[in-house]
Structure 1
Amino acid sequence: MDPTLPDELRQRLARLDTFIDTEIRPLQEQDDNARFFDHRREFARTDLDAGGTPHPDWEALLAEMARRADAAGWLRYGLPESAGGSGGTELDLAVIREHLAARGLGLHNDLQNESSVVGNFPLVHLFLAFGTAAQRQEFVEDVITGRKRVAFGLTEPGHGSDATWLDTRAVPDGADWRITGGKRFNSGLHSATHDLVFARTSGDGGDARGITAFLVPVDAPGFHVDFHWWTLNMPTDHAEVTLRDVRVPGSAVLGEVGGGLDLAQHFVHENRIRQAASGVGAAQHCIDRSVQRARERVTFGQPLARRQAVQWPLVELHTEAELVRTLVRRTAWELDRVPHHEISDRVAMCNYRANRLVCDAADQAMQVHGGLGYTRHEPFEHIYRHHRRYRITEGSDEIQLRKIAGYLFGFAGPRRDR
């Protein structure tokens, strides 16, 4: 792999910056939209009277950003031409997501809602890869434009990373299915029209086969959103769900009956590499801001930048960012060329190290900025609170390490012992 970025990609980043500066930044600054990004951000974004879920004004602003990005040809960049996209590669998307995060907080790329001028559409990719023609017709365009929203229901009250041990069950009932169980941290249900519910349909706990994914309308009888969990970074869209004899037709199955784990793995792969790229970008933003602060801040007659106690932690973080950036880009380049399962361990390495990196960088930025770094007038507490989530979701640190170990020792992956 040539480590230098193609000229065309560099030019695309410059055009993207121009679009943000001329179309999105003015939108962020008009009226009182700044309240969603300055020291008031968490409070302005959260609807306290609606269980801590995103405020309608906040989501309306995100929707307008997405509309403008779509009209300009950016939103669908990473989707295939069949979905109106440009067929952007995994490497393109990794570089772009890092670039957007390195710009800092803003309407152009607010990862709290997975909202970006260059969209991340893991569920659209699921429909394109696993959906029937009818499902693609019904959902793809509407999910992109926001007319429909599909939540993701895998985690349960008794099961998180151990996804093959689901307690939620689905049994056939004539041509239909009946689903009973519960979900936790079911993301997106505050505004979803459907929930992608994973349930065991055959086999025993721990079996990879026998889990099936169902598209469940949220207004189906027996489907209940009990409440939303309030989280470290608010607002929340993580619901607790109860399903009591929820009936869906056979056409609600997404993918193969019993093959739902393939969908879940596809979903997390799409997210893990892009989260890693965003983590590198956000970490670099924290490092760069800290270096600037250290050069400007004078204490005891000298800039902080003159002190090794300040220099060395930032040097270590800057070095780590360079290493992880190279790993992320190389892995994204490989994802464009080989089946994803062959390098799943590499994706796990990217996700694990990048998530650690950005949390460490945000923490150090707070330290360098002193009391100001601890305030909400600086972005570092928000960056930390957001990215700390990724050390748990899409596979915790421990799950990433387990994946890497499985490939390393021959317990899993293409070199698995027979």
Structure 2
Amino acid sequence: MDFDLPADLTAYLAELDAFIEAEIAPLEAVDDNIRFFDHRREWARTDWEAGGLPRHEWEALLATVRRKADAAGYLRFALPREYGGRDGSNLWMAVIREHLAAKGLGLHNDLQNEHSIVANNPFVLMFRDFGTAAQQAEFIPGMLAETHRLAFGLTEPEHGSDATHMETVAVPETRGSLPGYRIDGEKMWTTGMHMASHCLTFARTSGEPGDAAGITAFLVPAKAPGVTIEEYLWTFNMPTDHPRVSFRDVFVPDSAILGKLGHGLALAQHFVHENRIRQAASSLGAATYCIEEAVRYARRRKPFGEELAKNQGIQFPLVELATQAEMLRLLIRKTAWQMDQMPKPEVERRLSDKVSMCNYWANRLVCEAADRAMQVHGGLGYSRHKPFEHIYRHHRRYRITEGAEEIQMRKVAAHLFGYMGPRRQELEKSLSAGSDERREG
């Protein structure tokens, strides 16, 4: 077994580093752009008088970086070559995301905004796999050019992780001889709605509450009559672009359906494993950054004339975190590599528990690492002059979003105890054999 990264991958990381140094770092240094990353970052990013939304200047700066990264050929790395990408694998994306996050805060990779010089772009593949020819022709180039932006309307006020008890409904209706659907309901945490051209809205079209089937995905124009942003939900880490949105008597034509009627949840699950493994890698990178910063500070700081790092009370907690990071890195890379060896349905059947392990543990680890870095740095670590509070406040969300850690632990348990996954038949057979042996005894 060879655990070394491929030579072309390490060369690509060096290429990204050179691009950051030549193109991105200078952009941080001009026009006081550093205000978005130093102790002023929350104020600089947040328009407090506009519902806590991101300031226009902040989002414009991120857009400038994306254009630079796209022109240099990095932004679309994960996409197929037909869309200007490089067919980036899950392993490569995991390593790249960890590498960029381990650099700390910066324009190269701002996790609070899901921004990176190597983008994720799951919606593009969603349209490739589920869209009609007309939808693909409009939305794929539109999303790549950023003329089309999609918000994701799945979660509801009364139903968080359980989408099957969805109360938003879509009823067939014809208006002006145009057949379509009337949508009524409410969505929560509809991220990016303030800039969206459309909201991918999930609504029940048939079936009963609790049924996975009968839910359909609709492409609803963000400015359609009856679509209302009711409030922006202020969060632990500001700015916020996570509103509660209502849909009242909203009409869309049949052509607004994305995917098959009644099978919308397949879209919601389409990219979940890729998203989770990449997000786990980013959390690992941020955790590594916190650990390394704490180590360096402990070596520099000399209270009572000796390095802080000589105290076992400082050493041992960081040793434990560093050990967890090393083990997690191996599991993430192994899982990402295995994902690249099989089609999506097989990933769901054979590897979803490993993806969940990576994700929930990485999100927990980065919070612990940020907290420990604060402790090692003392009062300075608690201040906003260090990035640890920002890292903690951002990554704390991922223990809830992208599948709450309890949901992910349930998935792991289902595989571990053989209620689903490849161990199911094996365990049932062994348990049955054990019962037979006891009866015979």
State the TM-score, normalizing by the size of structure 2.
0.93
Secondary structure of 2:187 counterpart: strand
* 261-270 vs 365-374, which moves further: 261-270
1:228 Cα deviation (Å)?
0.6
In the other structure, the counterpart of 1:376 is 384
**Where does residue 99 of structure 1 map in the other structure?**
99
Paired AA for residue 349 in structure 1? M
Q: Who is 1:63 aligned against?
A: 63
Matched residue SS, 2:188: strand
Which of the numbers 343, 364, 371 marks the counterpart of 1:363? Answer: 371
1:299 to 289, 303, 309: 303
Where in structure 2 are the equivalents of 1:216-295 lying within 5 Å? 216-295=220-299
State the alpha-carbon separation in 2 of the partners of residues 11 and 194 from structure 1.
38
**Identity of paired residues, percent?**
62
Question: What amino acid sits opposite 2:80 in the alignment?
Answer: P
Task: Quote how far apart the aligned CAs of 1:134 are.
Answer: 1.3
Q: Higher mean Cα deviation, 407-416 or 342-351?
A: 407-416
The question of 1:199 aligning with 2:203 is answered yes
Distance of 2:244 and 2:191 partners within structure 1 = 9
**Residue 397 (structure 2) aligned to one of 389, 397, 410:** 389
Residue by residue over 1:296-344, the C-alpha shift from the partner in whole angstroms, topping out at 9 and shown as x without a partner, is 1111221111010000000000000001111111111111112321211
For 2:420, the equivalent position in structure 1 comes to 412
CA distance in 2, matches of 1:34, 1:75: 22
Superposed displacement of residue 270, structure 1? 2.8
Distance 1:239 1:267 in 2: 23
Partner residue, 1:169: 169
Q: Which secondary structure does the structure 1 equivalent of 2:237 belong to?
A: coil
CA deviation digits over 1:364-393, x for unaligned, max 9? 000000000001110100000110000000
Aligned-partner residue type, residue 43 of structure 1: W
Query: 1:148-167 to 2 correspondence within 5 Å?
Result: 148-167=148-167
Corresponding position of 2:332:
328
In structure 1, what is the equivalent of residue 347 of structure 2? 340
State the 1:414 CA deviation.
4.8
In the TM superposition, residue 416 of structure 1 has moved relative to its aligned partner by: 4.9
State the Cα distance separating 1:144 from its structure 2 match.
2.3
The Cα shift of 1:268 comes to 2.5
Provide the C-alpha distance between the structure 2 equivalents of 1:330 and 1:319, rounded to a whole number of angstroms: 17
The secondary structure found in structure 2 opposite 1:235 is: coil
Number of aligned pairs? 418
Cα distance between partner residues in 1 of 2:424 and 2:217: 27
Larger radius of gyration: 2
Q: How many Å apart are 1:411 and its aligned residue?
A: 2.5
| Residues in 1 aligned to 2:203 and 2:419: alpha-carbon distance in whole angstroms | 26
- Cα deviation for residue 167 of structure 1 reads 0.7
Kept in 1: contact 2:37–2:106 (CA 8 A): yes
4+ aligned runs moved over 3 Å, structure 1: 413-418
- Give the aligned partner of residue 121 of structure 1: 121
Equivalents in 1 of 2:340, 2:145: separation in Å? 26
1:248 to partner: Cα distance: 0.6
Question: Could you list the per-position Cα deviations for residues 29-53 of structure 1 after superposition, in whole angstroms to 9, with x for gaps in the alignment?
Answer: 1111111111101110111121101
How is 1:37-116 mapped onto 2 (pairs within 5 angstroms)? 37-116=37-116
Alpha-carbon separation, structure 1, partners of 2:272 and 2:237: 21
Alignment of 1:131 with 2:139, yes or no, is: no
User: For 1:97-117, what per-residue CA distance to the aligned partner results, in whole angstroms no more than 9, with x for missing partners?
Assistant: 000000010000001111100
The one-letter amino acid of 1:63's match is A
Distance 2:144 2:390 in 1: 27
Distance in 2, Cα, partners of 1:118 & 1:337: 22
Q: How far does the alpha carbon of each residue in 1:47-84 deviate from its partner, in whole angstroms, 9 at most, with x for none?
A: 11211011000000000000000000000000001211
The separation in 2 between residues aligned to 1:401 and 1:367, in whole angstroms, is 29
Deviations 1:135-186 (A, max 9, x none): 1111112212321110011110000101111111111124201111100111
Letter matched to residue 331 of structure 2: L
Q: 2:360 aligns with which of 342, 349, 352?
A: 352
Return the alpha-carbon distance in structure 1 between the equivalents of residues 180 and 259 of structure 2: 16
Q: Normalising by structure 1, what TM-score?
A: 0.98
Contact residue 90 and residue 274 of structure 2 kept, 8 A? no
In the aligned structure 1, how far is the partner of 2:366 from the partner of 2:236?
16
SS of 1:269's equivalent? Answer: helix
Change (3 A) 1:416 1:166: farther
> Hey, what's the Cα distance between the residues in 1 that align with 2:318 and 2:347?
34
Which consecutive residues of structure 2, in runs of 5 or more, have no partner in the other structure? 429-441
* Structure 1 stretches lacking a partner, 5+ long: none
Q: Deviations over 1:3-28 (max 9, x none)?
A: 21000000000000000000011011
Query: Within 2, Cα distance between the matches of 1:42 and 1:13?
Result: 30
* Farther-moved stretch of structure 1 (139-148 vs 388-397): 139-148
CA RMSD of aligned residues (A): 1.2
In structure 1, C-alpha distance between the alignment counterparts of 2:142 and 2:27, rounded to whole Å: 24
Q: Secondary structure in 2 aligned to 1:185?
A: coil
The residue identity in structure 1 corresponding to 2:295 is V
Q: Which residue of 1 aligns with 2:20?
A: 20
Amino acid at match of 2:348: H
The one-letter code matched in structure 2 to 1:299 is: P
Q: Is the 8 A contact 2:203 2:215 kept in 1?
A: yes
CA displacement at 1:406 relative to structure 2: 1.6
Pairing 1:10–2:10 present: yes
- 1:255 Cα deviation (Å)? 1.1
